[in-house]
């Protein structure tokens, strides 16, 4: 087993009378990609933010290896238009005095993240996908032991999402860091993940992706539709519904039951 970088036991965050997350146990190891999935409002970001010590927890313990360096990619970056900041300067702010990337690795990652051409652009003029790649690159600058990505593909179109997930997998191979990733879209994350955690206030189920998709708790959480989308697709929807639910005769197959 690879080294455990950060772990939490019985983690709980209570705001008012409501537990945002409760009794969460999580363990993040070097070289491993862990993905937290769950519906909106399940407490995914709360979990990540409490692990990063950005918010106070109500219960539980968090322990980390000594000198743990974390690279964090926030959900989104909202920059004031009044701040003149180029991509190069933005990246510069994330550099660590002692822990720098070697020039070779820096160029490597710069190339992987396809950011060479963006360096002199103002941050505010980047597209959604470009911003995410720059944020990822910044998170890598400190040679993190652990990379934490909160909804990394937000605001990125589908082709961009695929390449961003590929890039994240690539980065793991290059740096050998552990990765904790939050996502609410189920389709794309599964392939590149070692450990999946389904969160809905508490951990519903966790484990390898194949294992988790078989779990009844997983189906409960996302509904048969969502879960079915993930497992090998077995129901081809070959007709359309009107807004009343009536079936519209369309491009039917020969073996269709209706129509």
Residues in the site for other proteins, rule: CB under 8 A? 49, 52-54, 70, 72, 74, 77, 79-80, 82-86, 89-90, 93-94, 96, 120, 122, 138, 142, 148
Residue 86 DSSP symbol: B
Nearer to other proteins, 178 or 209 (CB): 178
CB of 226 to other proteins, least distance (A): 30
Q: How far apart are CA 66 and CA 159, in angstroms?
A: 39
Nearer to other proteins, 87 or 189 (CB): 87
Contact indicator for 144, 96 with CB cutoff of 8 Å: no
CB atoms within 10 A of CB 84: 9
Provide the sign of the torsion angle of the four alpha carbons 53, 132, 69, 4, taken in this order: positive
CB of 150 to other proteins, least distance (A): 9
Nearer to other proteins, 89 or 187 (CB): 89
CB of 84 to other proteins, least distance (A): 5
Contact indicator for 195, 207 with CB cutoff of 8 Å: yes
**Beta pairing partners, 122:** 86
CA 158 from chain centre, in angstroms, equals 15
Tokens representing residue 129 in the block: 């996908």
Nearer to other proteins, 86 or 154 (CB): 86
Nearer to other proteins, 26 or 123 (CB): 123
CB of 62 to other proteins, least distance (A): 14
CB of 242 to other proteins, least distance (A): 44
């Amino acid at each position: 087993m690879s080294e455990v970088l950060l772990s939490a036991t019985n983690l709980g965050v209570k705001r008012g009378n409501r537990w945002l997350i409760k009794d969460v146990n999580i363990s993040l190891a070097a070289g491993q990609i862990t993905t937290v999935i769950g519906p909106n409002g399940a407490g995914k970001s709360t979990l990540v933010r409490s692990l990063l010590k950005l918010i106070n927890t109500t219960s539980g313990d968090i322990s980390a290896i000594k000198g743990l360096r974390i690279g964090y990619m926030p959900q989104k970056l909202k920059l004031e238009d009044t701040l003149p900041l180029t991509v190069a300067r933005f990246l510069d702010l994330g550099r660590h005095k002692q822990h720098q990337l070697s020039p070779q690795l820096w160029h490597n990652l710069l190339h992987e993240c396809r950011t060479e051409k963006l360096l002199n652009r103002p941050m505010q003029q980047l597209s959604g996908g470009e911003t995410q790649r720059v944020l990822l690159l910044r998170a890598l600058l400190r040679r993190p032991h652990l990379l934490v990505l909160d909804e990394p593909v937000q605001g990125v179109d589908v082709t961009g999402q695929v390449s961003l997930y590929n890039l994240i997998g690539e980065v793991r191979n290059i740096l050998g860091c552990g990765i904790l990733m939050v996502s609410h879209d189920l389709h794309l994350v599964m392939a590149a993940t070692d450990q999946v955690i389904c969160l809905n206030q508490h951990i519903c189920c966790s484990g390898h992706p194949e294992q988790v998709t078989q779990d009844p708790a997983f189906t409960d959480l996302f509904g048969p539709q969502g879960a079915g989308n993930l497992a090998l697709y077995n129901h081809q929807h070959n007709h359309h519904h009107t807004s009343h639910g009536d079936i519209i005769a369309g491009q039917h197959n020969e073996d269709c039951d209706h129509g």
